[in-house]
Chain A
Amino acid sequence: MSSHVVLLPERTPRSAFGKLLQDEGRYAWRVPVGLMLGVAIPVLVLVILGLVPGANRPSKSLGGLTLFTVYVPVLIVFALAALALLSLPTHLASYREQGILRRLSTTPVPRAWMLAAQVIINLALAVVALAILVVAGMAAFGLSAPRQPGGFTLALVLTVAALFAIGLWIAAIARTQNTAAAVGQLLFLPLLFFSGFYWPRASMPPVLRNIGDWTPSGAAVHALQDAMLGSFPSAKSLLVLAAWAVIFGILAVRFFRWE
């Protein structure tokens, strides 16, 4: 196929991108994979945690932190990973599998616009999930605002970059929706483990926690937690996130196929 992608062709009305975005938004509502896994489930888990007595009192088994301080970063990573690894690649792979991308390539619209629209919709869902988790955590459950907002934001941006790069790589290599879903799950579950979703990082054996620090989810939770508690995220966790973003970003671009 042609090697260069014309991102802003002269002959395509700009309004076409708005329409693509609108229809992808409708799709996200009508086939709510991202809405369920990326927004509803993490928020539901937050609410359940809120029902645990003493959830906002420091706990010894959590390294002297409250349940919320520990779990809000974990749930943020859950939401981002679900959107990046499960929602985005399966949808894009289904469009490829059904020949929708191919059909699109007979029109003046660059196929990259469809990809961009899908990434933007999933990022929008991520923003919704994040807003609910942080605002609800603060309003209803007494979570304190991140003490290092700059560090928190930087950690968030790098987490999004790392996880979406991996998601795009899955979308690049998976020919069918089923393959994309399988690869996504295969990565999602271990990442969830290292984020401390099942077993809080504070009480993990050091060897597991150290391995986790090299994964995007472990590094993300580490960095987000640091920023919430007031210290700037460690260079190591930020670099680990950046490295995942760059490596998988390159792999995604290298292996991407429209058909």
Chain B
Amino acid sequence: MKLSSLHGVPVTTADQAARPRAGRGAEAAIEVSHLRKTYGPVVAVDDVSFSVAEGEIFGILGPNGAGKTTTVECVIGLRTPDAGLIRVMGLDPHRDREELHTIVGAQLQASALPAKLRVGEILDLFHSFYQHPADLAEIRDSMGLTEKKNDYYRSLSGGLKQRVSVALALIGNPRVAVLDEMTTGLDPQARRDTWQLIEHVRDRGVTIILVTHYMDEAERLCDQVAMVDHGRIVAIDTPEGLAHRAGVAKRVRFAPSAPFDDRLLTGLPGVRSVEYVGEHVVVTGSGDVANEVILTLAAAGVTAADLHLDSANLEDAFVQMTGRHIHEDQIGRVHR
């Protein structure tokens, strides 16, 4: 999909979102158009439209309170939208709720399980809910829960609880899995393990909606990412596309082996600025700026030691498009 507008402007028109994307070859597994949901005077989700191709991992990325959870709760039939149309594998989540729950597995935020049931009992129980479930032992093994099957749910660490939760989302052999903040509260190793697991699930052909506020998670896993803020979609694209469109410059930082004339670099086509930070030089620019800088310096007999290259990422894109950091409470407002 070609995205036509620049920073801060919603780039997906309803028309684009409402039909399967050309060029990706797959029927849309999930269609959401003009979704709106209010709680009293609060508009939680406003005119949200997107479409997810079958077998794709679709990320919904945004800060707390952006309307991510409300959106997916409408998709899985837990909430009734005020307006808009949703289709999941051709089903209406509200009207066909019962059938929907046979093909959609969900991992909900802040949803516990009975404290004094054992892991094995919980898996067995949810396994019995489906007519065509996944293989119980396979799910248990692949989630690393076999050793834990006799442990009470209450005694599990946060990471293991999340794993049980993800296992339950997959135990019905779903065609669509909705995972809401599945790695929140996990340690880095557990997060990476979970990511790997999600990729395995995708490889089995399951379409996945992933709600997250972690940029690295979205970058690593998602084929498409919708950035949401204040209940609206700010942009939808591939992670690379979003970063690229943010237009954030690349930064090259290095310690020169000898002094040199700034004009050597400022004259280069891709370079925007040259600054000194202590011993280091920071060059911002675009395109193949790193290569140009190094080659130019080398020609002048200067080597660039301690070289760092930062390229734009989703975090930069988010700041660029919304004017704030995704974890604003921790970082503080961005001044522009």
Contacts and interface: CB of A to CB of B under 8 A. Distances in A.
Interface of A: 1-2, 6, 9, 11-13, 15-16, 18-20, 23, 26-27, 30-31, 95, 98-100, 102-103, 105-109
Contact of B99 (A11, A99, A103): A11
Contacts of B108: 99, 102-103, 106
B114 A23 contact: yes
A106 B114 contact: no
Interface string B278-314: 0000000000000000000000000000000000000
Given A102-B108, A106-B106, A19 B128 contact: yes
A107 B98 CA distance: 8
Contacts of B102: 11, 108
A36 to B, nearest CB: 15
30 contacts: A2-B80, A11-B98, A11-B99, A13-B128, A13-B129, A16-B125, A20-B125, A23-B114, A26-B116, A26-B117, A27-B114, A27-B116, A30-B116, A31-B116, A95-B114, A99-B111, A100-B111, A100-B112, A102-B78, A103-B108, A103-B112, A105-B78, A106-B78, A106-B101, A106-B105, A106-B106, A106-B108, A107-B129, A108-B129, A108-B172
Size bracket of the B interface = 20 to 34
A20 B126 CA distance: 9
A30 B102 CA distance: 31
Nearest to A11: B102
Given A11-B98, A31-B116, A99 B128 contact: no
A15 B128 CA distance: 7
A2 B80 CA distance: 8
Interface string B125-136: 110111100000
B28 interface: no
Query: Which of A18, A23, A100 gathers the greatest number of chain B CB atoms within 10 Å?
Result: A23
Nearest to A6: B98
B172 A107 contact: yes
B29 interface: no
A98 B101 CA distance: 21
Query: Which of A95, A98, A106, A109 gathers the greatest number of chain B CB atoms within 10 Å?
Result: A106
Interface in B91-112: 94, 97-99, 101-102, 104-106, 108, 110-112
B121 interface: yes
Given A99-B112, A100-B111, A100-B113, 18 more contacts: A1-B80, A2-B80, A2-B97, A6-B98, A9-B98, A13-B130, A15-B128, A16-B125, A26-B121, A27-B117, A30-B116, A31-B116, A98-B112, A103-B108, A103-B113, A106-B105, A107-B129, A108-B101
Interface of B: 76, 78, 80, 94, 97-99, 101-102, 104-106, 108, 110-114, 116-117, 121, 124-126, 128-131, 168, 172
Contacts, number: 77
Given A9-B98, A23-B121, A106-B76, A16 B128 contact: yes
Contacts of B121: 23, 26
Contacts of A20: 125
B128 A108 contact: no
A40 B133 CA distance: 41
The 5 A-B residue pairs with the shortest CB-CB distance, nearest first, are A99-B111, A98-B112, A106-B106, A19-B128, A30-B116
A99 B102 CA distance: 20
A109 B117 CA distance: 18
Contacts of A107: 101, 126, 129-130, 172
A13 B116 CA distance: 24
Contacts of A12: 129, 131
B117 A99 contact: no
B129 A109 contact: yes
A27 B121 CA distance: 11
Contacts of A98: 111-113
A27 B153 CA distance: 12
Nearest to B126: A107
Contacts of B101: 106-108
A109 B168 CA distance: 14
B111 A103 contact: yes
Nearest to B172: A107
Contact of B110 (A11, A99, A106): A99
A100 B128 contact: no
Nearest to A107: B129
